[in-house]
């Protein structure tokens, strides 16, 4: 009886082993690497005369596993009428206007109320489209330049944007329908906006300015034309990061062609021609409105060159790049320097000092000059002197108007001025006006407690600091 029980048990174990071998299909890899999918070795093999069936053939379809997620592009809204255009304005919208003329005033005049929660009807001497609270919108016209958006009232902006961000407008002509003359509205106006891009636009008068902006950050204007405006080219009030690239500004008239208040702009590759007004650069009407600009690879017509010849005097906050072209050479002296000694020797009124990239130790230069000239140095210079501080020399710039000190490259990353004495200011200014210091890194070489500042100004006015990197151990940046 016991013998039969043992035999039965062995038979059962063998049966279980056979079942397990059939279900396993093959051994697992022992090195921990992922197994490469292969056709099972015990699968039926088709004969050479018979092609594999559909279920046996290798699948050519791509894997259904999801790949990296991609943001789907916004589907463009194609419009062909003024009503369709205005009602399409909304956050995230990409609006493409068909060729033709879109008269905003005609449509708003017939409307009984606001177009939407984003487009309101404003009224001056006629209806105006006020766009508010829109983010991430693109308005695009036909590439051949046959899309035009117009407004009739002279006191209205063609389009007015308030509290909007990430707005792009491309390939459209904007203007007022009335003939050139006295207007009180701009072509495009931006109020408390951020990240505005205008590309390939033709902005014409009689609008006051081609574009005006107030408390707006990040304005990029590329490949645009501004022409025939009645006040000037552009009006910026309390704006930053404004860049104009490859634009043409022609035949504008009125007051300040560049009307800036507490704003700064870069003009790169732009042409100014045929403009005429009271001033080319902004006139300062009140303290606190000081502004500046940098011009790189720009060209200037006769009137613009003549005005810059006068207006750059006593003003250090406007920088003229080496590759700019003038009909009349500006009266401001432009000097390129590659050492601190050259910088010191050329400090004078109405002078623009452009510093070549590099790191410059100012205190080393001052020590060498003192060793070479002694007290004669201060006696022989009108606009600079060297003061002996507790632990080393300090450069003092005094009685200069219209001095600009800027990097050639337009960047603080590759141009640095340092001083070693911790009791000295890096640069000290006294009784100066119209000073501009731009795109330079400055600081003390020692780390620890300092008694000097990086920049120090005493009895100075109309000073503009732009694009600086000021670091310690100085007591204050300025």
Give DSSP secondary structure letters for 159-209: EEEES-EEEEEES-EEEESSPSS---S-SEEEES-EEEEEES-EEESSSS-
| CA-angle at 458, arms to 457 and 463, nearest 5° | 45
Per-residue pLDDT of the chain in tens (478 residues, 90 and over written 9): 444 444 445 455 454 444 444 444 443 333 333 433 333 333 444 444 444 443 444 444 444 444 444 555 568 999 999 999 999 999 999 999 999 999 999 999 888 788 899 998 876 667 889 999 999 999 999 988 899 999 988 888 999 999 999 999 999 999 998 766 566 789 999 999 999 999 999 999 887 999 999 999 999 999 999 999 999 999 999 999 999 999 999 999 989 999 999 999 999 999 999 999 999 988 754 455 678 899 999 999 989 998 888 888 777 888 888 789 988 766 678 899 999 999 999 999 999 999 999 999 999 999 999 999 988 999 999 999 999 998 899 999 999 998 999 999 989 999 999 999 989 999 999 999 989 999 999 999 887 778 899 999 999 988 889 899 999 888 899 9
Predicted structure pTM score: 0.73
155 token code pair? 């006191």
220 token code pair? 């990029």
Question: Is residue 402 within 8 Å of 314, Cβ to Cβ?
Answer: yes
Q: What is the pLDDT of residue 59?
A: 41
What topology is assigned to 77-326 in CATH? Answer: Pectate Lyase C-like (2.160.20)
Q: What is the pLDDT of residue 425?
A: 94
- CB burial of residue 371 (10 Å; 0-12, 13-18, 19+): exposed
Q: What is the pLDDT of residue 275?
A: 94
CATH 2.160.20.10: which residues of the chain? Answer: 77-326
Closest C-alpha to 229, from 276, 166, 267, 262: 276
Q: What is the pLDDT of residue 177?
A: 85
Query: What is d(CA 478, CA 460) in angstroms, rounded to the nearest whole number?
Result: 13
Query: What is d(CA 300, CA 260) in angstroms, rounded to the nearest whole number?
Result: 19
Listed in sequence order, the residues at least 6 apart from 377 whose beta carbon sits closer than 8 Å to its beta carbon are: 369, 370, 385, 386
Query: What is d(CA 21, CA 10) in angstroms, rounded to the nearest whole number?
Result: 17
* DSSP state at residue 464: E
Closest C-alpha to 361, from 392, 333, 318: 392
Q: How far apart are the first and last CA of the chain?
A: 107
Residue 236: strand pairing partners: 213, 260
From residue 275, alpha-carbon distances to 86, 175, 256, 319 in Å are: 34, 18, 10, 20
Other CB atoms within a 10 A radius of the CB of residue 36 amount to: 6
Query: What is d(CA 24, CA 37) in angstroms, rounded to the nearest whole number?
Result: 15
Q: Backbone phi, then psi, for 310, in 5-degree steps? A: -90, -45
Query: What is d(CA 212, CA 232) in angstroms, rounded to the nearest whole number?
Result: 10
Other CB atoms within a 10 A radius of the CB of residue 476 amount to: 13
Question: Is residue 402 within 8 Å of 332, Cβ to Cβ?
Answer: yes
Question: Is residue 92 within 8 Å of 74, Cβ to Cβ?
Answer: yes
Other CB atoms within a 10 A radius of the CB of residue 342 amount to: 15
Q: What is the pLDDT of residue 290?
A: 78
Closest C-alpha to 437, from 397, 386, 472: 397
431 token code pair? 């009784």
Query: What is d(CA 163, CA 149) in angstroms, rounded to the nearest whole number?
Result: 22
Query: What is d(CA 403, CA 463) in angstroms, rounded to the nearest whole number?
Result: 10
Q: What is the pLDDT of residue 110?
A: 86
Question: Is residue 83 within 8 Å of 77, Cβ to Cβ?
Answer: no
């Amino acid at each position: 009886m016991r013998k039969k029980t043992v035999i039965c048990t062995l038979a059962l174990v063998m049966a279980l082993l056979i079942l397990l071998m059939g279900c396993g299909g093959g051994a697992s890899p022992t090195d921990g690497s992922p197994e490469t999918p292969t056709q099972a070795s015990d699968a039926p093999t088709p004969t050479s005369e018979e092609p594999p069936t559909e279920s046996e053939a290798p699948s050519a379809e791509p894997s259904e596993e999801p790949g990296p997620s991609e943001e789907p592009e916004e589907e463009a809204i194609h419009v062909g009428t003024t009503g369709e255009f205005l009602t399409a304005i909304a956050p995230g919208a990409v609006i493409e206007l068909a060729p033709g003329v879109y008269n905003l005033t005609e449509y708003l005049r017939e409307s009984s109320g606001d177009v939407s929660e984003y487009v309101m009807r404003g009224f001056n001497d006629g209806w105006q489209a006020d766009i508010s609270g829109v983010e991430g919108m693109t308005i695009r016209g036909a590439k051949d330049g046959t899309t035009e958006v117009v407004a009739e009232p002279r006191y209205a902006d063609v389009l007015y944007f308030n509290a909007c961000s990430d707005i792009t407008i491309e390939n459209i002509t904007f203007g007022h329908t009335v003939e050139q003359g006295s207007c009180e509205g701009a072509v495009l106006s931006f109020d408390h906006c951020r990240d505005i891009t205008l590309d390939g636009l033709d902005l014409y008068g009689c609008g006051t300015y081609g574009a005006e902006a107030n408390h707006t950050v990040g304005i990029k204007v590329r490949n645009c034309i501004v022409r025939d405006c009645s006040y000037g080219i552009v009006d910026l009030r309390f704006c930053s990061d404004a860049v104009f690239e490859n634009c043409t500004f022609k035949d504008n008239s009125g007051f300040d062609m560049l009307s800036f208040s507490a704003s700064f702009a870069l003009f790169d590759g732009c042409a100014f021609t045929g403009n005429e007004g009271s001033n080319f650069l902004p006139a300062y009407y009140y303290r606190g409105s000081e502004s500046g600009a940098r011009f790189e690879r720009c060209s200037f017509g006769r009137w613009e060159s003549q005005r810059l010849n006068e207006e750059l005097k006593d003003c250090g906050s406007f920088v003229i790049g080496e590759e700019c072209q003038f009909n009349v050479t500006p009266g401001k002296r432009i000097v390129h320097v590659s050492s601190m000694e050259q910088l010191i020797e050329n400090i004078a009124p109405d002078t623009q000092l452009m510093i070549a990239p590099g790191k410059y130790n100012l205190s080393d230069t001052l020590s060498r000059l003192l060793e070479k000239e002694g007290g004669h140095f201060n006696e022989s210079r009108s606009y600079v002197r060297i003061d002996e501080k507790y632990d080393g020399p300090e450069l003092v710039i005094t009685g200069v108007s219209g001095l600009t000190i800027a990097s050639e490259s337009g960047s603080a990353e590759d141009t640095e001025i340092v001083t070693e004495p911790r009791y000295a200011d890096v640069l000290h200014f006294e009784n100066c006006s119209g000073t501009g210091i731009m795109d330079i890194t400055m600081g003390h070489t020692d780390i620890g407690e300092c008694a000097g500042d990086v920049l120090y100004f005493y009895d100075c006015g109309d000073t503009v600091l732009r694009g600086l990197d000021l670091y310690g151990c100085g007591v204050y940046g300025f």
